[in-house]
């Protein structure tokens, strides 16, 4: 009888060390840029009560939930996004938290999606959010952070774009043309470019819009400039919503990010809780799925039973980002690299372990990253040891039992140049 080999679940990934190294590069860059914008890191549980999502996040994401009953008969869901957890954290300490505040997190998320390019069932997502202000400069801060981050990964302006829209603006336009309940219309508008003009018109007709209203809406969502929009909207609310976008763009332009943002009223976002600015980040030419998406959600805490606390933020997934960086050859080498390999001609393992420890402790003050030190784990010929040193990407091989070992001097080889030297520990470290 043959036993079948266990399979990787669909839409999930294994991270062998080479993949994990790239993953950590993404995490390190996310974290360092978020911290450079003074966001603080937080975390939450990987599963929540199912009701945190139902009715608040939007139909699509709820249909993708991994949910189950636990042994205590509670309805539980693996988290498909971080925003409801964040809202829960905020409600719980609404009084104590000094607002506004800026937080970030890098959760592992789960969505029962059709696994395809850019979409998996388990992925990581950087979340950056600002809680407790309605100011448009919060949006400016988030977008500046996105652009800084993508530049830090090596992308050039023009290779990505943050498309900006506003649900407030859209709502006022829907009102102006006499369209029915916006919350019914948004999910259709969000799918406009995905489903094509005919299916779009049909879905809007099903939602109660006339042919004339559909045409107007289609024209509106195709506007590419603020001037074009101004010619179409007239209400006070619409003018205020447009002014907000103008302020946002002027601020980002002054800060040097003008090339990274553009008006894109075709963006609506699928999630139900957005109330103001919404945005999505795409690669040039939109050949891939969105790299990131976000927006303002000023009534989510209220919907969840707390007081009204405004918020705005975004999520950036690791999958599309890594695909895009790979396409531009911007991912680091996945190969291992260590600082030192401690070798011994006589297989003197005690001396090998002792010397390895000397190098690991030699990094100096406690905050410094210790040197990485490898060595053989069994007696073997020098040729084999050098093979290992090579394979592990050692920069310097230190021979513990050279002719001057008794005087505290080691023979060592710089693997990058092939040169041999003799020197004490300090001299060897200097050569790194
Ligand atoms: P979202 O648009 O659902 O927003 O996801 C944001 C990003 O997460 C997407 O642009 C994509 O990069 C990534 N993503 C989403 N689903 C998948 C998937 N199945 N596989 C791989 N990557 C995926 C939200 O989640 C909001 N909660 C973001 C937010 C934070 N809004 C305000 N604060």
pLDDT, tens only, 342-369: 999 999 999 999 999 999 998 766 667 8
Predicted local confidence at residue 185, as pLDDT? 85
Predicted local confidence at residue 367, as pLDDT? 67
Q: What is the pLDDT of residues 79-115, one digit of tens each?
A: 999 999 999 999 999 999 999 999 999 999 999 999 8
How many Cα neighbours within 13 Å face the side chain of 375? 25
% of the chain at pLDDT higher than 70: 99
Domain segments of the chain as ranges: 17-327, 338-431
Predicted local confidence at residue 188, as pLDDT? 86
**Per the CATH hierarchy, to which homologous superfamily does domain 17-327 belong?**
Bira Bifunctional Protein; Domain 2 (3.30.930.10)
What is the DSSP track for 296-309? E-SSHHHHTTS---
Q: How far apart are alpha carbons 381 and 350 in whole angstroms?
A: 17
Q: What is the pLDDT of residues 174-185, one digit of tens each?
A: 988 888 777 778
Q: How far is the CA of 124 from the centre of ligand 1 (A)?
A: 9
Is it true that 17-327 and 338-431 share their CATH fold?
no
Q: What is the pLDDT of residues 387-411, one digit of tens each?
A: 999 999 999 999 999 888 888 899 9
Q: How far apart are alpha carbons 329 and 423 in whole angstroms?
A: 39
338-431 placed in CATH 3.40.1000.10 = no
Q: Which of 102, 88, 190, 183 is nearest to 139 (CA)?
A: 102
Ligand 1 pocket, residue 301 CB under 6 Å: no
Q: What is the pLDDT of residues 136-161, one digit of tens each?
A: 999 999 999 999 999 999 999 999 99
Q: How far is the CA of 318 from the centre of ligand 1 (A)?
A: 10
The pTM of the full predicted model, rounded to 2 decimals, is 0.94
CA angle 179, 183, 186 (to 5 degrees): 80
Ligand 1 pocket, residue 162 CB under 6 Å: no
Would you say residue 197 has pLDDT above 90?
A: no
CA trace torsion 252, 253, 254, 257 (10° rounding): 70
336 falls in which pLDDT band (50, 70, 90)?
A: very high
Lowest mean pLDDT: which of 338-347, 367-376, 381-390?
A: 367-376
Would you say residue 272 has pLDDT above 70?
A: yes
- DSSP strand E in 200-357: where? 261-263, 277-283, 292-296, 311-317, 338-343
Cβ-in-10-Å burial (0-12, 13-18, 19+) of 325 comes to buried
- Token readout for 162 is 């943050």
| Mean pLDDT for the chain overall | 93
Atom of ligand 1 lying closest to residue 64 CA: 19
Atom of ligand 1 lying closest to residue 321 CA: 12
Q: How far apart are alpha carbons 105 and 109 in whole angstroms?
A: 12
3-state class of 422 per DSSP? strand
Q: Find the DSSP H helices in 74-181.
A: 83-92, 136-152, 167-176
Predicted local confidence at residue 181, as pLDDT? 75
3-state class of 392 per DSSP? coil
Which is higher by pLDDT, 77 or 206?
77
Predicted local confidence at residue 334, as pLDDT? 84
Which residue's alpha carbon is at the smallest distance from atom 29 of ligand 1? 314
3-state secondary structure 8-45: CCCCCCCCCHHHHHHHHHHHHHHHHHHHHCCCEECCCC
CA angle 357, 363, 366 (to 5 degrees): 105
Cβ-in-10-Å burial (0-12, 13-18, 19+) of 248 comes to buried
Lowest mean pLDDT: which of 66-70, 105-109, 196-200?
A: 196-200
Which residue's alpha carbon is at the smallest distance from atom 24 of ligand 1? 315
Predicted local confidence at residue 365, as pLDDT? 61
Would you say residue 288 has pLDDT above 70?
A: yes
Ligand 1 pocket, residue 264 CB under 6 Å: no
415 falls in which pLDDT band (50, 70, 90)?
A: very high
Predicted local confidence at residue 366, as pLDDT? 62
> What integer is the mean pLDDT of 281-305?
94
DSSP 52: G
> What integer is the mean pLDDT of 306-334?
96
DSSP 119: B
Ligand 1 pocket, residue 13 CB under 6 Å: no
Predicted local confidence at residue 1, as pLDDT? 61
Q: How far apart are alpha carbons 129 and 312 in whole angstroms?
A: 6
């Amino acid at each position: 009888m043959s036993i079948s080999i266990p399979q990787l679940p669909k839409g999930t990934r294994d991270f062998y060390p080479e993949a994990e190294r790239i993953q950590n590069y993404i995490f390190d860059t996310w974290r360092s840029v978020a911290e450079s914008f003074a966001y603080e890191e937080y975390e939450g549980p990987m599963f929540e009560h199912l009701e945190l999502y139902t009715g608040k996040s939007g139909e699509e994401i709820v249909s993708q939930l991994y949910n189950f009953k636990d042994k205590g008969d509670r309805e539980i869901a693996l988290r498909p996004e971080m925003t409801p957890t964040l809202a829960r954290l905020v409600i719980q300490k609404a009084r104590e938290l000094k607002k506004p505040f800026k937080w970030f997190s890098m959760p592992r998320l789960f969505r029962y999606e059709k696994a395809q390019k850019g979409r998996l069932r388990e992925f990581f997502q950087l979340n950056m959010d600002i809680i407790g202000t309605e100011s448009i400069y919060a949006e400016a801060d988030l977008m500046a952070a996105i652009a800084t981050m993508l530049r830090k990964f090596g992308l050039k302006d023009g290779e990505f774009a943050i498309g900006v829209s506003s649900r407030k603006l859209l709502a006022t336009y829907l009102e102006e043309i006499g369209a029915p309940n916006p919350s019914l219309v948004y999910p259709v508008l969000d799918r406009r470019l995905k489903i094509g003009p005919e299916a779009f018109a049909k879905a809007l007709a099903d939602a109660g819009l006339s042919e004339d209203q559909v045409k107007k809406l289609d024209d509106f969502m195709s506007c590419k400039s603020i001037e074009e929009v101004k010619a179409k909207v007239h209400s006070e609310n619409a003018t205020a919503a447009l002014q907000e976008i103008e302020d946002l763009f002027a601020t980002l332009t002054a800060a040097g990010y003008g090339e990274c943002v553009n008006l894109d009223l075709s963006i609506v976002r699928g999630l139900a809780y957005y109330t103001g600015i919404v945005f999505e980040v795409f690669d040039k030419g939109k050949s891939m799925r969105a790299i990131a998406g976000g927006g303002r959600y000023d009534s989510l805490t209220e919907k969840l039973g707390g007081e009204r606390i405004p918020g705005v933020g975004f999520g950036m997934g690791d999958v599309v980002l890594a695909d895009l960086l790979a396409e531009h050859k911007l991912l680091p080498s996945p190969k291992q690299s260590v600082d030192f390999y401690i070798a011994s001609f006589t297989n003197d393992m005690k001396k090998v372990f002792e010397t390895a420890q000397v190098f690991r402790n030699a990094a100096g003050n406690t905050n410094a990253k210790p040197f990485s030190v490898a060595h053989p784990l069994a007696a073997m010929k020098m040729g084999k040891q050098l093979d290992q040193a090579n394979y592990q990407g050692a920069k310097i091989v230190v021979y513990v039992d050279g002719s001057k070992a008794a005087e505290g001097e080691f023979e060592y080889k710089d693997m990058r140049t092939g040169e041999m030297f003799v020197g004490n520990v300090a001299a060897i470290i200097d050569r790194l």
